[in-house]
Amino acid sequence: MSENRKLQMNSASGVSRRTTLKGLGAAAGLIAAPGFVRYGQAQSSEPIRIGFQCHRTGIGAAYGRWYERTTTAAAKRINDAGGINGRPLEIVIEDDGTDPKRGAEVVEKFANQHKVDLVYGTLFSHVVVGSAPAAGELKIPYYVVSEGYHVASGKLNRYCVQPGITDVKAQARSMAPWIADNLGKKVTLVYPDYAFGHDHRDFFTPAIEAQGGQVVAKVPIPPTETSFTRYFPQIPSETEVIYHVMVGPAVLTFVKEMGEFFGNSGPKLFGFIDSLEAVDIKSPGLEFLEGSHFWEGMPRYAQPDQADYVTAYREAVGIDENGASTQDAKDVSTAAHMFGCWETLNIIKAAMEACDYKGTDDRAAMIEATEAMTDMEAGADHPQGKKRFNGKTHQVFGEQSISQVVDGKLKVVHRTSIEDGAYEPEADYTAMSF
Amino acid sequence: MAFGPYFLLASLEGLVTAAVLSLMALGLSLVFGVMRVVNVAHGEFYMLGAVLAWWFSTLVGGHPAVGFLLALVLSPLVVAAIAFVAERLVLSRLKYEPEATIVATIGLLYIVQQLALTFYGPEARPVEAPFNYRISLPWFGYSAYKLAVIGFSILMMIATWFVLTRTKIGLVMRATQFDRETAQAFGIPVGRVYAGVFALGAGLAAVAAVLIVPIQQAHYLMGHDPLLLSFIVVIIGGLGSLRGTVVAAVLIGLSDGIISMFFSPTLAKMLATLAVAMVLVFRPQGLFGTVAR
Amino acid sequence: MPGRAEGGVTRAMANRIKLTPSAKSLALHAGVVLLLLALNFLLPEYHRGVFARVLVLAVFAMGYNLAFGYTGLLSLGHAMFFAAGLYGAGLTVYHLEWSVWPAFAAGLAAGTGLALVVGFLALRTTGVAFMIVTLMFAQVFYLTTLYFTTYTRGEEGLVLPQSSRVLAFPGGALNLSDPSTRYLVALTLFTLVLTVILFLVRAPFGRSLVAIRENDERMRMLGYNVFANKLASVVLSGLFCAASGAAYAVLFGYVGSGFAAIQYSILPLLWVLVGGAATTLGPLIGTLFMFYVIDTASSYTTAHLLVVGLVLIGVILFFPKGIAGTVRGRWLPWLP
């Protein structure tokens, strides 16, 4: 332990490790002044500070609230177990308003004013992309929990990583085999007419074609829209499956109007739970969803066969068996995404320990340590399931859940493999300079 | 789907949009017309109406219609009271200076939004419709409640028209709108009229919100798009023209619905917006407006 | 809107109208620019970054002020001019790999061209109708950026690689992602636009704009081409806003459709009103003030929008003509 302390003092003073180590040993032996020792202790317990870019206001607020709760729970667990390299973890929160401009400002604030070790926790893709240039210029690691394809596309920079949640490309691809086998081969896509929706369209289409299926129509919906019924006639009658993914406050309307329009006679429905995150499946108007299927990153409802570490995770985060807050049953969580915060913090811990992180000088080493990661086993650190990280694309791959609405609850009916979603790397960040 | 049924559906959808929009725009038109105030917070009164509707409907159990009716009565009253207080505390002290009131209502927008976020939360929550009946047409299903919204909205419009043109309150309001100084000289308490108009405008927005909330849902950012649309409706219809407001709302609702039959949704939205803008470019006073004095 | 007529105009009329800024006001503006220059070396790192951003956005606000403050054209669509500059510069850098100079010029051209077309159509209307027409055109522009998501990546936007954000000169090159360089480039743009506006509002063109704002009928009877003057004002305003947008793209490296949304039409209006409409320094004051109100409030409370709202109402109760406008009205009538 005392060795440890000395090492940490070094990095703080900025003098080369070896010389100070010698000097320190001598100093400690010769003048064991109480003040000096206290200084050493203060250094050793100096917290590792993580800037959490949180969607407290704006369109992402429902997610932000749960990302914050998950982060707090994960940080508490890490601290209870002795922190990172013996140092406690401190989370510094700034609201980005779910806005890309403010996001960049917040990254600057974290780096230059709060002087945190790294920035973490962003969900909405436009905030990630808007903040990425600032992170690259300030050379501060930026661990996002966003499920966007931005990191893996190679268009960001070496400081941006997404190790705790899979990206939309892998998610959309891994759904195709199961949909083709179980629901149907003629698919109509309904998606928001911007990047997130286009990603679903562009990645799902070839995947379903590879299964012998076919996209028979595409219905892109402008994000300013608040009612949807008028677009449903564009769904051809030959459609066997409607693949829908909508985000924003109007999503509930969308699902509801779809039910009114088709009744029980329509095509099968397959949706991304993004539409209904933080929304009670038993809400009035959603009855018709009974029997339809959803993608879930991690199951919202407690499953009968879930592992002990999943139960422990759910308890720590504070969600009941219905995936709502244990404090307020009406406060439904964003369970399919927020596990990413938990896992990312554990990966940050692992990376910092692997590179023996001392301070901001080790930021590049920390990124390299993250890039060196590969397989991560399911367990208390990775309750969603096992993962495989690709150091080149800075993107993690993992298993996905497909759940069916049964009695107003989501029941997992299938779990995809890592291979279902994996794709060849399209970028190599390790070839870029820091 | 064949052209006929598709057209029917697009028109029905357009009419529902128009019904809600015209109520909300009517409120804005009153504030805009009588007080000459650009009320940026009008969308937030709409949101507040929806959020309160959710709250009232959860207070009572039993048949959903009970909660809904309670919300329909109380929610607009509460919103109107809040607007009344805001008018007395802030707008009146700014002497209705057009530019200062823009800033003040933006401030109000932030305050209402934050309060909704803090006390109601960031989630979207639906209110159960007073009745749940799906009309099964041969080609598609349609919500009977949506048709009821159109009907109720027409009733509200007629009531407002009656108040404006056939009662003393309406006379006082119109007099104030026509010439503020003269109205004051004739002993009309202009300040109180303004506060009343502001409250009435907010109340109408809240009624629109209560009607829409079983179709859509309450969300703290929901006021944004309807605000823009109702501004557009008010100006296209012609400032101060009740008839114009209704016609413009129907025009916008229908054009939105029908143009979307022929183009991809976003392109349709662009074309519809452009078309409506062109109406104003070539008829700057609006459809039923008179040339500005 | 009577009562906003500048005290300076009447007095200047009394002793023959001067067509250039007074020595006092020149000294004040030079002082402000010098202070901003000094701040590059004095400010802590974070605040220097903030100021660089604010200077760029203040140019947006100054452009808006020209149309709204001086000419009396209440537009709710200026986001489209900012975004035209942003995309004009951003897309050419990203897809065509243009260097910064031509890309910046493309941004200016896009914004100016758009302002010409929009101005030509929208200026057929006046007052609130103008407000709504510009709002709708801006909405169409916003939807266009989404419609072409294939090229723009819509709301998610594009990152301009650091390597492309280099300003080449005959004698060398400036790296625009360096904080100090970025600050100085932003300040240069700001100073340029501030100077143009300072001289413009004293020149015959600027005075005719103010006169049109006060009474366009009279100007028409005096033989002025009101439409042409207004159009020139909108085009120039669009040019400044586009300059701000193009600068934002190359300085901060991000381009996204959020900048074309209605919020970015309301923000410059808010900045100008808080700072003081038809004042040369008001836009900077308003932009800076709003940034720090949000930044400070959000460090102390999670309910920061509430604080921002209360501050806005408080400010407008005590400074009904905006900060600089009220200072001018009460204490410094010579303030331009």
User: What distance in Å separates the CA atoms of residue B220 and residue B51, rounded to the nearest whole number?
Assistant: 8
A193 touches chain C (CB under 8 A): yes
At residue A292, the 3 state secondary structure works out as coil
The residues in A 61-100 lying below 8 A from C, measured between CB atoms, are 94-95, 99-100
Q: Which residues in chain C are contacts of A132 at CB distance < 8 A?
A: 159, 254
Any CB–CB contact under 8 A between A16 and chain B? no
Instruction: List B residues 114-143 in contact with C (Cβ-Cβ < 8 A).
Output: 114-115, 117-118
Neighbour-count burial of B182, counting CB atoms closer than 10 A to its CB (0-12 exposed, 13-18 middle, 19+ buried): exposed
H/E run at residue B290: none
- List phi, psi (to 5°) of C91: -70, -35
Contact A339, A384 (CB under 8 A): yes
Tell me, what's the pLDDT at A14?
38
Residue in A95, A92, A91 with CA at minimum distance from that of residue A54: A95
The type of residue at B252 is I
Question: Which residue does chain A place closest to C252, by CA atoms?
Answer: A133
Of A193, A230, A237, the CB nearest to B260: A230
- The per-residue pLDDT for range C104-141, each reduced to its tens digit, is 999 999 999 999 999 999 999 988 889 999 999 999 99
Confidence of residue A22 (pLDDT cuts 50, 70, 90): very low
Task: Kindly indicate the confidence band of residue A4, based on its pLDDT and cuts at 50, 70 and 90.
Answer: very low
Set out the domains of chain A in order of their start, with CATH numbers.
Answer: 2-45 (no CATH), 48-164+336-398 (3.40.50.2300), 168-296+399-421 (3.40.50.2300)
Alpha helices by DSSP H, listed for chain C, are 7-14, 23-42, 45-65, 79-96, 100-122, 127-147, 149-152, 179-202, 204-214, 216-221, 226-252, 263-275, 282-300, 304-318, 323-330
B202 vs chain C: nearest CA distance in angstroms? 19
Per-residue pLDDT averaged across B107-112, rounded?
95
Q: What is the largest CA-CA distance in chain B?
A: 63
Q: What is the ipTM of this complex?
A: 0.90
C85 pLDDT above the threshold of 90: yes
Is B282 in CB contact (< 8 Å) with chain C? yes
- Work out the percent of chain C whose per-residue pLDDT is above 90: 83
Question: SS3 of A385, please?
Answer: coil
In a domain? residue C297: no
Tell me the average pLDDT across B223-234: 89
B166 domain-assigned: yes
Residue C292: how many other CB atoms lie within 10 Å: 13
Distance CA C160, CA A124 (A): 19
Average pLDDT over residues A212-231: 87
B152, two tokens: 């109720």
If one compares B286 and B199, the residue with the highest pLDDT of the two is: B199
- pLDDT classification of B63: cutoffs 50, 70, 90: confident
**Which residue range forms the structural domain that includes residue C108?**
19-261
- Nearest residue of A to residue B269 by CA position? A222
Q: Is A191 helix (H, G, I), strand (E, B) or coil?
A: strand
* Chain A residues in contact with B271 (beta carbon < 8 A): none
Chain A, 198 to 257: residues with Cβ < 8 Å from chain C are 198, 222-224
Q: Average pLDDT in the A385-396 region?
A: 95
Residues of B in contact with C309 (CB under 8 A): 106-112, 114
- Categorize the per-residue pLDDT at C17 as very low, low, confident or very high, splitting at 50, 70 and 90: low
Q: Is residue B49 part of a domain?
A: yes
Residue C254, classed as helix, strand or coil, is strand
- Distance separating alpha carbons of residues A393 and B177, to the nearest angstrom: 64
Q: How many C-beta atoms lie closer than 10 Å to residue C218's C-beta? A: 12
> What six digits make up the tokens of C33?
């620019």
Burial, B91: exposed, middle or buried (Cβ in 10 Å; 0-12, 13-18, 19+)? buried
Chain C interface, best mutation among A59, A137, A155, by max C CB count within 10 A: A137
Token pair belonging to A381: 């650190």
**Residue B15 banded pLDDT, cuts 50, 70, 90:** very high
Nearest to B217 by CA among B50, B91, B74: B50
The pLDDT mean for chain B works out to: 89
User: Does the pLDDT value for residue A259 go beyond 90?
Assistant: no
C169 forms beta bridges with C172
A334-348, B223-237, C185-199, C246-260: lowest mean pLDDT where? B223-237
Of A91-105, B205-219, C2-16, C100-114, the one with minimum mean pLDDT is C2-16
Position C271 scores a pLDDT of 96
Contacts of A193 in chain B (CB under 8 A): 264-266
The DSSP secondary-structure symbol of B5 reads: H
Instruction: Give the pairing of strands A268-272 and A293-296.
Output: parallel
Task: Compute the nearest-CA separation of C22 from chain B (Å).
Answer: 28
Q: What CA–CA distances, in Å, run from A152 to A156, C83, C156?
A: 9, 27, 14
Beta-carbon pairs below 8 A across chains B and C:
128
Lowest mean pLDDT among A167-171, A226-230, A389-393: A226-230
> What is the rounded (10 degree) CA torsion for B256, B261, B264, B269?
-10
Percent share of chain C, pLDDT over 70: 95
Residue B77, domain extent:
3-223
Does B127 touch chain A if contact means CB atoms closer than 8 Å? Answer: yes
Please indicate, yes or no, if residue B117 is contained in any of the structural domains.
Answer: yes
Res. C3 pLDDT band, cuts 50 70 90: very low
- Establish if B83 belongs to a structural domain: yes
Minimum-distance CB partner of B103 among C129, C273, C303 = C273
Tally of domains in chain C: 1
Amino acid C20: pLDDT:
83
pLDDT for A99 equals 94
* Segment B33-59 mean pLDDT: 92
Cβ atoms within 10 Å of C37's Cβ, excluding its own: 15
In this structure, the strands spanning A142-143 and A186-192 are unpaired
Give the mean pLDDT of A385-405. Answer: 95
Mutate to test the interface with C, among B99, B233, B259 (most CBs of C within 10 A): B99
In a domain, residue B25? The reply is yes
- Point out the residue among A193, A250, A332 whose CB comes nearest to the CB of B123: A332
Answer yes or no: is B130 within a domain.
Answer: yes
Cβ pair A195:C156 closer than 8 A: yes
Distance CA C237, CA C231 (A): 10
pLDDT greater at residue A266 or residue C67: C67
**More confidently predicted of B107 and A261:** B107
Which distant-in-sequence residues (6+ apart) come within 8 Å of A405 by Cβ? A281, A289, A290, A291, A292, A293, A294, A411
Q: Quick one: how far is CA A11 from the chain centroid? A: 31
- Best mutation target among B54, B112, B145, B215 (most A Cβ atoms within 10 Å) is B215
Mention every residue, 6+ apart, whose C-beta is less than 8 A from residue A199. A148, A149, A168, A169, A172
Average pLDDT estimate for C88-96: 96
In chain B, which residues have their Cβ closer than 8 Å to the Cβ of A228? none
The verdict on A250 touching B (C-beta cutoff 8 Å) is yes
Share of chain A above pLDDT 90, in %: 71
- Chain C positions touching B32 (Cβ under 8 A) are 128
Residue A27 in this model has a pLDDT that exceeds 50: no
Provide, as residue numbers in chain B, all residues whose Cβ is less than 8 Å from the Cβ of A233. 1, 5-6, 9, 140, 261
Q: Does B17 touch chain A if contact means CB atoms closer than 8 Å?
A: yes
Average pLDDT over residues A96-112: 95
pLDDT in tens, A263-294: 777 899 999 998 888 888 888 878 888 899 99
Closest C-alpha to B241, from B208, B290, B283: B290
* Interchain contact, C306 vs B106, CB within 8 Å: no
Q: How far apart are CA B39 and CA B55, in angstroms?
A: 25
Tokens of C18: 């001067």
Question: Are C258 and A148 an interchain contact pair (Cβ–Cβ within 8 Å)?
Answer: no
End-to-end Cα distance, chain B:
50
The reported pLDDT for the residue numbered C19 is 81
- Contact state of C50 with A57 under an 8 Å Cβ cutoff: no
- Distance, in Å, from the CA atom of B98 to the CA atom of C273, rounded to the nearest integer, reads 11
Q: Which two tokens stand for residue C218?
A: 């009279």
Q: Are B61 and B268 in contact (CB under 8 A)?
A: no
Q: Name the H helices within B31-143.
A: 42-59, 64-86, 98-119
For the packed helices B98-119 and C263-275, what is the interaxial angle rounded to 10 degrees? Answer: 120
CB contact A266 to B (< 8 Å) = no
3-class state of residue A221 by DSSP: strand
- Is the CA virtual torsion C160, C166, C167, C170 positive or negative? negative
Best residue of B117, B216, B220, B270 to probe chain A, by most A CBs closer than 10 Å: B216
The burial of C288, by beta-carbon neighbours within 10 Å (0-12 exposed, 13-18 middle, 19 or more buried), is given as buried
Cβ within 8 Å, pair C254-A224: no
Which tokens belong to C300? 């102390």
pLDDT(A146) > 50: yes
User: Cβ of B270 and C140 within 8 Å?
Assistant: yes
CA dihedral (B179, B184, B188, B193) in degrees, to 10, reads 70
Residue C258, both tokens: 């959020």
Is-contact C122 C134, C-beta < 8 A? yes
Kindly state whether residue B19 falls inside one of the protein's structural domains.
Answer: yes
State whether residue A72 sits within 8 Å of chain B by CB.
Answer: no
Contact C143/B270, CB-based, under 8 Å? yes
Q: How far apart are CA B177 and CA A311, in angstroms?
A: 65
d(CA B37, CA B27): 12
CA angle, B234 then B238 then B244, to 5°: 80
Cα C67 to Cα C231: distance, rounded to the nearest angstrom: 10
Residue A340 CA to residue A312 CA, distance in Å, equals 16
In the stretch 290-319 of chain C, residues with CB closer than 8 A to chain B read 303-306, 308-313, 315-317
CB contact under 8 A, A222 and B266: yes
Over residues A344-363, the mean pLDDT reads 94
- Neighbour subunits, C (≥3 Cβ pairs < 8 A): A, B
Provide the greatest CA pair distance for chain A.
87
Q: What is the pTM of this model?
A: 0.90
pLDDT band at C295 (very low <50, low <70, confident <90, very high): very high
Q: Which of C51, C150, C155 is most worth mutating to test chain A (most A CB atoms within 10 A of its CB)? A: C155
Which positions 95-154 of C are in contact with B (Cβ < 8 Å)? 121-122, 124-129, 131-133, 135-137, 139-140, 143-144, 146-147
Which of C150, C179, C254 lies at the smallest CB-CB distance from A100?
A: C254
**pLDDT at res. A15:** 39
Q: Which of C45, C156, C158 sits opposite A112 (nearest CB)?
A: C45
Summarised one tens digit per residue, pLDDT across range C268-290 is 999 999 999 999 999 999 999 99
**Residue in the structure block whose two tokens are 């009232």:** B56
The CATH number covering residue C198 comes to: 1.10.3470
Tokens describing residue C312: 């806005």
| Number of independent structural domains in chain B | 1
Question: pLDDT, tens digit, for every residue of C297-320?
Answer: 988 888 889 999 999 999 999 999
